[in-house]
Amino acid sequence: MKGQIKVGMVVGTGAALNVKLGWIPDFVEVFNVTDGDLVTSAFLGWVVPFSSGGTTEIRAGDVIVGATSGATATVTEVLLSSGTWAGGDAAGFFSVRSLTGTFGSENVKVGAGTNDATVTANVVHNVAFAVAAASATGNAALSRFEGVEATDARGFTIGSTVSESAKLLRYVAYRADQ
């Protein structure tokens, strides 16, 4: 599938607001055009930090499974920050899609493997710009909206703090090639 860009507007409600696109964006930016006081940006793809990589190299396309949580995800990219797979001390980040469940601090395996890497929690990166950049979480953040698959109601959610009542919010949502 080719990448997609969707530009639109919504009116804030003071409550969390789901924006239905029919797909989950990789990156969203929301700008309060009424006040011009808040820009909220979010990378909505998941990143799973890992340490203590086993000697089985995990690659893009592999499905990882949490040994404790049973969470599963398809790896789209592996970014090493230190160590090597051959040395059994690889550490870095997995970019993943198709996440089912939530990884905790646990071992993951690929296929019939065991303890192929040790991961921490899955992470989504949000940031809010008011005066200075800061990490945004909870109601002050943007998040994935998965909805009900049968209705194709996928998109993103604007947190209630960002969704100021009766304010016009413009957004740009991006999706990379799949």
- Give the residue-averaged pLDDT of 123-149: 65
Q: Which residues contact 72 (CB under 8 A, 6 or more apart)?
A: 63, 64, 65, 66, 98, 99, 100, 101
Residues contacting 150, CB < 8 A, separation 6+: none
What's the pLDDT score for residue 170?
Answer: 95
Number of H helices, E strands in the chain: 0, 14
Token reading at 42? 């979010």
Cα–Cα distances (Å) from 87 to 65, 83, 91, 102, 128, in that order, read 22, 7, 11, 28, 39
| Encoded amino acid at 145, one letter | F
- What is the model's pLDDT at position 134? 53
Evaluate if residue 21 carries a pLDDT over 60: yes
Alpha-carbon torsion, ordered 61, 66, 72, 74, to 10 deg = -20
Buried b (16+ CB within 10 A) or exposed e, 138-164: eebbbbbbebeeeeeebbbbbbbbbbb
β-pair partners for 175: 4
Q: Residue count of the chain, please give it.
A: 178
Q: In the chain, where are the structural domains located? A: 4-38+130-175, 45-123
Residue 44 gets which letter from DSSP?
E
What pLDDT score was predicted for residue 41? 86
Residue 46: what pLDDT? 84
Of the pLDDT bands very low, low, confident and very high (cuts 50, 70, 90), residue 132 is very low
In this prediction, residue 177 carries a pLDDT of: 74
pLDDT tens digits along 146-169: 766 556 678 899 999 889 999 999
Q: Rounded to two decimals, what is the model's pTM?
A: 0.73
